[in-house]
Amino acid sequence: MPKNLNTMYYPNIRLQMANKKMTIDALSRKLGMHRNTLVKKLSGERKFYIEEGTAIASILDRPYDWLFKRED
């Protein structure tokens, strides 16, 4: 797993967050997740649970498969 928190492990999630002008803080609050946990998941240091991915897809209004397409 990557240790660099700046790694773009899920670029489509970051892209859609930018399109919706949603910060990591805002998304983490909507998910009921600590900000640092979300950062670790977005960087690939931790894995997402399917329920978290489904919630992110709903919040960002994009298909799950597209959001979680990785570039590794």
**Cα angle value 21/2/40 (rounded, 5°):** 45
**Residue 64 pLDDT more than 90?**
yes
pLDDT of 68 higher than 80: yes
Structural domains of the chain, ranges and CATH numbers in brackets:
11-67 (1.10.260.40)
Categorize the per-residue pLDDT at 71 as very low, low, confident or very high, splitting at 50, 70 and 90.
Answer: low
- pLDDT at 66 (0 to 100): 96
Q: How high is the pLDDT of residue 9?
A: 86
pTM of the model: 0.85
| pLDDT (0 to 100) of residue 7 | 61
Tell whether the model's pLDDT for residue 31 goes beyond 90. yes
CA 34/CA 39 separation, integer angstroms = 9
Q: How far from 62 is each of 3, 9, 38, 40, CA to CA, in Å?
A: 27, 17, 18, 21
Query: Three-state SS for 23?
Result: coil
